[in-house]
Chains A and B, each alone.
Chain A
Amino acid sequence: MSTQTLLRLMVLAVSALIMSCSGNNEAGGGALSGDAASRVYVAPGEKDEFYNFVSGGFSGQLAVYGLPSGRLFRVIPVFSVDPEKGWGYTEETKPMLMTSHGFVPWDDAHHPDMSQTGGVADGKWVFINGNNTPRIARIDLTDFRTKEIIEIPNAAGNHSSPFSTENSEYVVAGTRFSVPIPQEDVSIQQYSEKFKGALSFVKVDPKSGNMNLDFQLLVPGFDYDLARAGKGPSKDWMFMSCYNSEQANTMKEINASQNDKDFIVAINWKKCAELAAAGKGSMMNVDYAHNVYNDETHSASHTMKKQVRVLTADDIKGALFYMPTPKSPHGCDVDPSGELIVGGGKLATVIPVMSFSKMLKAIEGGKVDKMIAGIPVLNYKECLAGEVQRPGLGPLHTEFDGKGFAYTSFFVSSEIVKWSLKDFKVVDRVPTYYSIGHLCIPGGNSTKPWGKYVIAYNKITKDRYLPTGPELTQSAQLFDISGDKMKLLLDFPTIGEPHYAVACPADMIMKNSKKMYQITENKHPYATHKEADTRVERKGNEVHVYMTSIRSHFAPDNIEGVKVGDKVYWHVTNLEQDWDVPHGFAVIGANNSEALIMPGETCTIVWEPKKAGVYPFYCSDFCSALHQEMQGYVRVSNGGSGQLTWNKR
Chain B
Amino acid sequence: MKYFMLLFTALWLVACSGNNGESAENKSFMEAQQPKKTYGKIQHVDIGEGIDGTMSKAGKEIFDMKCNACHKYDERYVGPALGKVTQRRTPEYVMNMILDTETMIENDDTVKCLMQEFLMKMPNQSVDEKDARNVLEHLRDHAKSAQ
A249 close to B (CB within 8 Å): no
In the complex with contacts A576-B125, A578-B126, A520-B65 CB distance below 8 A = yes
Cα A496 to Cα B72 with chains together (Å): 50
Binds A, one of B31-39, B88-96, B106-114, B116-124: B116-124
Complex interface: chain A residues within 8 A of B65 (CB):
519-520, 529-530, 575
Interface string of A496-525 (1 = CB under 8 A from B): 000000000000000000001011100000
Shortest Cβ distance from B12 into chain A, in angstroms? 21
Q: Which residue of B lies closest to A519 (CB)?
A: B65
In the complex with contacts A530-B64, A532-B64, A555-B69 CB distance below 8 A = yes
B57 close to A (CB within 8 Å): no
Complex interface: chain B residues within 8 A of A518 (CB):
126
B123–A581 touching, CB < 8 Å: yes
Cα A539 to Cα B85 with chains together (Å): 42
Complex interface: chain A residues within 8 A of B121 (CB):
551, 624-625
Complex interface: chain B residues within 8 A of A575 (CB):
65-66, 69
Shortest Cβ distance from B63 into chain A, in angstroms? 9
Q: Which residue of B lies closest to A625 (CB)?
A: B119
Complex interface: chain A residues within 8 A of B87 (CB):
none
Which of B64, B70, B126 is A577 in contact with, Cβ under 8 Å? B126
Shortest Cβ distance from B6 into chain A, in angstroms? 16
Cα A159 to Cα B106 with chains together (Å): 54
Complex interface: chain A residues within 8 A of B123 (CB):
550-551, 576-578, 581
Q: Which residue of A lies closest to B78 (CB)?
A: A553
The number of residue pairs between A and B whose CB atoms lie closer than 8 Å in the complex comes to 53
Cα A581 to Cα B121 with chains together (Å): 12
- List B residues 1-52 near A (Cβ within 8 Å): none
Cα A553 to Cα B66 with chains together (Å): 14
A531 close to B (CB within 8 Å): yes
Shortest Cβ distance from A409 into chain B, in angstroms? 46
A531–B69 touching, CB < 8 Å: yes
A474 close to B (CB within 8 Å): no
Contact residue range for chain B?
Answer: 10 to 19
Cα A35 to Cα B34 with chains together (Å): 57
Complex interface: chain B residues within 8 A of A244 (CB):
none
A626 close to B (CB within 8 Å): yes
B119–A626 touching, CB < 8 Å: yes
In the complex with contacts A576-B125, A577-B125, A577-B126, A551-B64 CB distance below 8 A = no
B68–A532 touching, CB < 8 Å: yes
- List A residues 587-641 near B (Cβ within 8 Å): 624-626
Q: Which residue of B lies closest to A548 (CB)?
A: B69
Contact residue range for chain A?
Answer: 20 to 34
Shortest Cβ distance from B113 into chain A, in angstroms? 16
A552 close to B (CB within 8 Å): yes
Q: Which residue of A lies closest to B131 (CB)?
A: A520
Shortest Cβ distance from A533 into chain B, in angstroms? 9
Complex interface: chain A residues within 8 A of B68 (CB):
530-532
**Which one of A519, A530, A532, A576 has the greatest number of beta carbons of chain B within 10 Å?**
A530
Complex interface: chain B residues within 8 A of A577 (CB):
66, 123-127
Shortest Cβ distance from A446 into chain B, in angstroms? 36
Complex interface: chain A residues within 8 A of B126 (CB):
516, 518, 577-578
Complex interface: chain B residues within 8 A of A551 (CB):
70, 78, 120-121, 123
Which of B120, B125, B127 is A552 in contact with, Cβ under 8 Å? B120
Complex interface: chain A residues within 8 A of B69 (CB):
530-531, 548, 550, 553, 555, 575, 649
**Which one of B64, B68, B124, B126 has the greatest number of beta carbons of chain A within 10 Å?**
B126
Shortest Cβ distance from A548 into chain B, in angstroms? 6
Complex interface: chain B residues within 8 A of A626 (CB):
119-120
Cα A530 to Cα B120 with chains together (Å): 20
Interface string of A120-160 (1 = CB under 8 A from B): 00000000000000000000000000000000000000000
B70–A550 touching, CB < 8 Å: yes
Shortest Cβ distance from A152 into chain B, in angstroms? 40
Cα A532 to Cα B60 with chains together (Å): 12
Cα A103 to Cα B68 with chains together (Å): 41
Interface string of A297-336 (1 = CB under 8 A from B): 0000000000000000000000000000000000000000
Complex interface: chain B residues within 8 A of A548 (CB):
69
Shortest Cβ distance from B102 into chain A, in angstroms? 10
Shortest Cβ distance from B114 into chain A, in angstroms? 14
Q: Which residue of A lies closest to B64 (CB)?
A: A530
Given A518-B126, A626-B120, 13 other A-B residues pairs in contact with their CB atoms under 8 A: A516-B126, A530-B69, A531-B64, A531-B68, A531-B69, A551-B70, A551-B121, A577-B66, A577-B124, A578-B125, A581-B123, A624-B120, A624-B121
CB within 8 Å of B: which residues of A? Answer: 516, 518-520, 529-532, 548, 550-553, 555, 575-578, 581, 624-626, 649
- Give 18 pairs: A residue, B residue, CB < 8 Å, sorted on A: A518-B126, A530-B64, A531-B68, A550-B69, A550-B70, A550-B123, A551-B70, A551-B123, A553-B69, A553-B78, A555-B69, A575-B65, A576-B125, A577-B66, A577-B125, A578-B123, A625-B120, A625-B121
In order of increasing CB-CB distance, the 7 nearest A-B pairs are A577-B126, A577-B125, A531-B69, A530-B64, A550-B69, A530-B65, A578-B124
